[in-house]
Chains A and B, each alone.
Chain A
Amino acid sequence: MRSFKYYTATSWEDAVATLGKYKNAQIVAGGSDVLGWIKDELTGPGAPLADVLIDIRTIPNTSYINYDATAGLKLGALTTLTTVAESSDVQKNYPGLATAAVSPASPSIRNVGTIGGNIMQRPRCWYLRGANFPCYKKGGDFCFSVTGENQYHAILQGELCYIVHPSDTAPALISLNATANVMGPNGAKQIPFDQFFIGPRTNVLKETVLEHNEILTEIVVPPPAANTKSVFMKVTQRGVYDFALVSIAVAAQIVNGVWQDGRVVLGGVAPTPYRATDAEAALKGKKIDANVALQAAQDTLVKARPMSQNAYKVDIAKNIIVQAVTSLVS
């Protein structure tokens, strides 16, 4: 691995200030993705290789799970995925999130990988991850997937760049109407996860609204409304240890089989976690059955613009919406 400097932060403010001081500094939590990036020397004009790593695991009180019925769930950004997945509070009140937290990567990665890191991880597009492709996301002027091997790429909202968002927990958090607490040079602020992720058109060099010197510090999930059910599903080629071809998180209040209100969020289909508002609209006030779910799926996927090799993902997305939605009433 290339050499870099290492900084131990003592507080969020310290970490933010240090990020401001070094142009090519990056924060490191669990480290799986950050170190992989450096090892593979993925760099370009818009993606300088990190030369300072700022350890935020040295900041006190960053790993915790607090739940109460009125305030909801608070997750320290450095809480490991294993801890989140094994938390009885999470399992009981947010089963979709618990499943999403046990879905990424492997146990030994989830043992160090943090919930914050899972949300902030960079996409897995093989052009982005190949050192020899100077693509948009590295500051280049080309997306190789458009004329290339795009079997895993975006079917929705791709423009300029056709990555898919890799996180399993992000769709779950959006479905649960969670909020990000962020520390920046001007102090703390809250950003709903619904508005946290940005597409390539907004800024192709990053996937979230956070600036270089802003850090995700805490995840807040409101207490589940009465009659809320949530689910997370993921389609992968291998049985485990695989990024999603398509994933889905659904959280909804369902009374007597009728969808009162809820969210449907897809992963693996678009450059951001994809909030399927068309599906939500189609489901609202309906008694859930396979036909209603299929209508919701069709309303969503009618907007799909598959590339030369990934039309099959449209089918998967359609089918998984039906499966996930109907599972809430079965």
Chain B
Amino acid sequence: MADEIAPEQEPEEKEEERATTNGQVTRRQFLVGAGVGAVIGIAGTAGVLTLVHPTAPVEQAQTVATPSTTSATATASALVEGTKLIALNVNGRDYEIAVEPQYTLAEVLKRDLGLTGTKLGCNGSMCSACTVLVDGVAQNSCSLLAIREVGKKIITIEGLEQNGKLHPVQAAFWDNAAYQCGFCTPGQILGAVELLNKIKNPTDDQIRAAMSGHMCKCSAYPNILAAIQAAAKQMA
């Protein structure tokens, strides 16, 4: 399979783990032995095995939305049980990561890759706080399985700022106080980025339609609308 990592690329400790568990490496065994270090208060890195191409050039965040969402088509059937090593491209960097089939993209981003900007509000596709861009299309990362997202370009909130410069949507959200607690903000911003990549000068109604799944319980909605209009002008 195209997304499978060649065995020779796997680090040695991984091989050892596999050897001790009859070919089935699971997170439970892996983590028992892995004393993974992390900075306290920030995301840990448990589960990240290697970071390949750490200096790969960062993709432009403003990927133009493609109209459809498809998986890379399979050429050979495969049944995954337990852990599988996959490659994910996030914010232009390639990560190799061991996942189990049920790991969502959101939990892998946050827990395993340390990209905690993505927020989970409901973990059920009902609030859109966990929105990320997958090949330019806004999707709920809580309801995507990481194992299915191989070969796609994933942009999270961390991937929007370029060379120390905020994306115009980020700047507009700040300038217009388009949030209160700020928890839903990363998802709101990515939803707005997708919209403005699709429609350059949206009407208020187009903004409302595009942002209609993004719950803000603080209800900063009028300012969100104003911020997106301001960003549209900035980007025009």
Interface residues, chain A, CB within 8 Å of chain B?
1-10, 14, 18, 28, 30-32, 35-36, 38-40, 52-53, 55, 57-60, 62-63, 78-80, 82-83, 86, 105-109, 111-112, 239-241
Contacts and interface: CB of A to CB of B under 8 A. Distances in A.
Interface string B211-226: 1111000000000000
A164 B209 CA distance: 26
Nearest to B1: A8
CB-CB nearest 6 A-B residue pairs: A106-B213, A6-B101, A58-B74, A57-B71, A240-B212, A8-B74
Contacts of A1: 102, 104
B228 interface: no
B55 interface: no
B213 A105 contact: yes
Given A5-B80, A107-B210, A112 B74 contact: no
B79 A57 contact: no
Interface string B120-136: 00011100100100000
A10 B74 contact: yes
A9 B212 contact: no
Interface in B50-71: 67-71
Given A108-B131, A108-B138, 15 more contacts: A1-B104, A7-B78, A8-B80, A31-B145, A35-B145, A40-B124, A57-B148, A63-B68, A63-B70, A78-B70, A106-B128, A107-B212, A108-B191, A111-B139, A239-B212
A59 B73 contact: yes
Given A3-B100, A4-B101, A108-B191, A58 B72 contact: yes
B76 interface: yes
Nearest to B104: A1
B144 interface: yes
Given A8-B78, A57-B70, A109-B125, A32 B143 contact: yes
B137 interface: yes
A78 B100 CA distance: 24
8 contacts: A6-B79, A8-B77, A10-B75, A32-B125, A40-B124, A52-B79, A108-B191, A112-B144
A326 to B, nearest CB: 24
A136 B131 CA distance: 35
Given A4-B101, A5-B79, A80 B68 contact: yes
A39 B143 CA distance: 10
Contacts of A105: 125, 213
B124 to A, nearest CB: 5
Given A32-B125, A108-B140, A55 B148 contact: yes
B69 A111 contact: yes
Most A CB within 10 A of own CB, among B78, B104, B210: B78
B12 interface: no
Given A8-B77, A57-B71, A63-B70, A109 B100 contact: no
A126 to B, nearest CB: 14
Contacts of B212: 106-107, 239-241
Contacts of A239: 212
A36 B72 contact: no
A83 B67 contact: yes
B147 interface: yes
B8 interface: no
A3 B137 contact: no
A60 B67 contact: no
Contacts of A52: 79
Contact of A6 (B72, B80, B140, B208): B80
Interface string B27-57: 0000000000000000000000000000000
A109 B102 CA distance: 19
A80 B139 CA distance: 12
A80 B144 CA distance: 15
Nearest to A38: B102
Contacts of B214: 106
Given A57-B148, A107-B213, A111-B139, A39 B123 contact: yes
A57 B148 CA distance: 9
Contacts of A6: 79-80, 101, 145, 147
Given A58-B71, A108-B140, A7 B104 contact: no
Contact of B128 (A53, A62, A83, A108): A108
A238 to B, nearest CB: 9
Nearest to B101: A6
B148 A60 contact: no
A286 B76 CA distance: 57
Contacts of A53: 101, 145
A7 B71 CA distance: 13
Nearest to B213: A106
